[in-house]
Amino acid sequence: MGCYDCCMKCLGGVPYCSLLATLLCFSGIALFCGCGHQALTETERLIETYFARNLQDYITLAYLIQYFQYVIYGLASFFFLYCIILLAEGFYTTSAAKQTFGEFRSTLCGRCLSSTFILITYLLAVVWLLVFAFSALPVYFFYNMDATCHTITVLTETPASINQLCIDARQYGLLPWNAMPGKACGMTLSTVCKTREFRVTYDLYIAAFAGAGITLLALLTYMVSTTYNFAVLRYLGRKGIGTRC
């Protein structure tokens, strides 16, 4: 067998669906975890500087931010390992496995393992759908804040109307109701929106939201791939035919 034929044989056994899902998952998790971690840090700084004067007013939020940052560390590690395992499972059910190791045999253990991956992937997709929805909340908060600042810029000729435009962090559950001042109004709010911290935090949350969407797309791709691989695994046990998914 020549070098070209050998290369084509190897490329023919690559699980392209699983490989695509793995790349999507890695990029999505990197965006979500990296940008989300930094966005939480910047959010704490914004709340501390412009919305709360007393440490006790935002101490609970600070603990929650720290807790979510630890969760992000765990998510990054878990998805890295799980994506590698799913990619390996995709390679296992390709024709390359048969061509390399001889006649393919589907065992009961192999089918149980594949069905377990299907179940776990479906559950992860449902859970991550909730994470995707949850990651839209800070984007919504900063979008409202940015829209209010834009309105203030338009109404700069009527100061009385400007002072009535506010963003109250207490309404979004970020601070307790007794926190002072708890909100930013008028030109103070406009000043906040012009700061580097606000723009960076807003962009980071958008990137984290996009990362969550990419990860959800990767999980959906995995769902299709693992379900198809399980069906092919049983078929291969009887017919000895390879798959490329």
Residue 15: CA count within 13 A, CB half-sphere? 29
3-state helix, strand, coil in the chain (%, to 5): 80, 5, 15
Tell me the sheet residues that pair with 183.
168
Tell me the sheet residues that pair with 167.
184
pTM: 0.82
Residue 115 neighbours by CB distance under 10 Å: 14
pLDDT of residue 235: 65
Residue 1 lies in a domain: no
- Please, what's the b/e burial string for 14-41 (b: 16 or more CB within 10 A of its CB; e: otherwise)? ebebbeebbebbbebbbbbbbbbbbbbe
Are 96 and 13 contacting, i.e. CB atoms less than 8 angstroms apart?
A: yes
The one-digit pLDDT tens for each residue of the chain (245 residues) are 556 566 666 665 567 788 888 999 999 999 999 999 999 999 888 888 888 777 777 788 888 888 998 999 998 999 999 989 888 877 776 654 454 444 445 555 666 777 888 888 899 999 999 999 999 999 998 898 888 888 877 776 666 667 777 888 888 777 877 777 878 888 888 888 888 888 999 999 999 999 999 999 999 998 888 887 777 666 655 554 444 44
Residue 90 lies in a domain: yes
Residue 137 lies in a domain: yes
Residue 135 lies in a domain: yes
Residue 8 lies in a domain: no
pLDDT of residue 51: 82
Residue 235 lies in a domain: no
User: Omega into 181 within 30° of 0, i.e. cis?
Assistant: yes
pLDDT of residue 23: 92
Residue 236 burial (C-beta neighbours within 10 Å; 0-12, 13-18, 19+): buried
Residue 62 lies in a domain: yes
pLDDT of residue 211: 94
Residue 3 lies in a domain: no
Which residue range is the domain that position 222 belongs to?
19-94+109-228
Say how many domains are in the chain.
1
Are 233 and 106 contacting, i.e. CB atoms less than 8 angstroms apart?
A: yes
Backbone angles phi, psi at 181, to 5 degrees: -75, -25
Q: Quick check: helix, strand or coil at residue 184?
A: strand
